[in-house]
Amino acid sequence: MKVMIIGAGKMGSWFARELARTNDVAVYDKWYTKKWEIKSFKVFDEISNIKTFKPELLLNAVSLKDTVPAFKEVISFVEKGCIIADIASIKGELKNFYKTCAFDFVSMHPMFGPTFANMGSLKNENVIFIKDSCKDGVMFFKNFFSRYGLKFFEYTFEEHDEMMAYSLTLPFLCSMAFAGSVKKGVVPGTTFGRHLEIARKLLKEDDNLLGEILFNEHSMSKLNLITGRLEYLKHIIMAKDQEELSSFLKRLRENIG
């Protein structure tokens, strides 16, 4: 298949390299500058080259804030039979965009990345597909991802963003609160070290990506949940209430199975 990728950041570059193994791949990116050393795909610096390439699939891998504007900028350069796709971590306004465009689409979220995942061994990592995505496009990507042993999930646009507030915003907030409370210096303790390593990996992520997750419209409910639990725990500690603490810890153990 002829695949056009717009956006050559960490994930866009990964898709370009991997898809080029079995597809005719080209990359266009005005948002990101790098020297390409891989010769397995074409690199375009002029938007008009997209029309000449005639992609059958257009994969949008730019940052969330640029996703819809990028689609609008390049859409006139692709033919009507082309499937358009995004990998946005938060879907937001994409639902309304797809309603107004005349193209079949695949909206998905590969829940792995260069910071936390081992990109050389992705077995049991996850990919979410939005339920309204076209069957042919979903089948193409499922066949592509199957070589890596990934697990697939399907949600609506709304369910996806609600789930991201739970699965991403919640742990991100906890790690940020921890990172904001530590001081430089060597600290004994395995538990502290493990938490610190998670926080360090999180803070290696791109600021825009972290913003995408935290600015999800469902994030505030998770922040309120965390602050509420902390206030309750603060009350228990101040009162030195062992009975209430044991009751609280029992509920926590039940929560996490």
pLDDT confidence bin for 9, thresholds 50/70/90: confident
Statement to judge: residues 21 and 144 lie in one domain: yes
Q: What's the number of domains the chain is made of?
A: 2
- pTM score > 0.75 for this model? yes
Which ranges constitute the DSSP H helices of 118-239? Answer: 135-146, 157-164, 170-179, 190-202, 207-214, 219-239
- Tell me, what's the pLDDT at 232? 95
- Tell me, what's the pLDDT at 120? 63
Residues 119-142 pLDDT 10s: 566 888 899 999 999 999 999 999
Mean pLDDT throughout 143-166? Answer: 94
Domain end, chosen from 109, 134, 155, is at 155
Mean pLDDT throughout 60-81? Answer: 93
Statement to judge: residues 143 and 171 lie in one domain: no
Statement to judge: residues 173 and 200 lie in one domain: yes
Statement to judge: residues 145 and 197 lie in one domain: no
pLDDT confidence bin for 30, thresholds 50/70/90: confident
Please list the residues that pair with 193 across neighbouring strands. Answer: none
**51 within 8 A of 78, measured Cβ to Cβ:** yes
Statement to judge: residues 92 and 214 lie in one domain: no
| Average pLDDT score over the chain | 90
Residues 203-223 pLDDT 10s: 988 888 899 899 999 999 999
- Tell me, what's the pLDDT at 8? 83
Structural domain including 91 reads 2-155
**pLDDT of 170 higher than 80:** yes
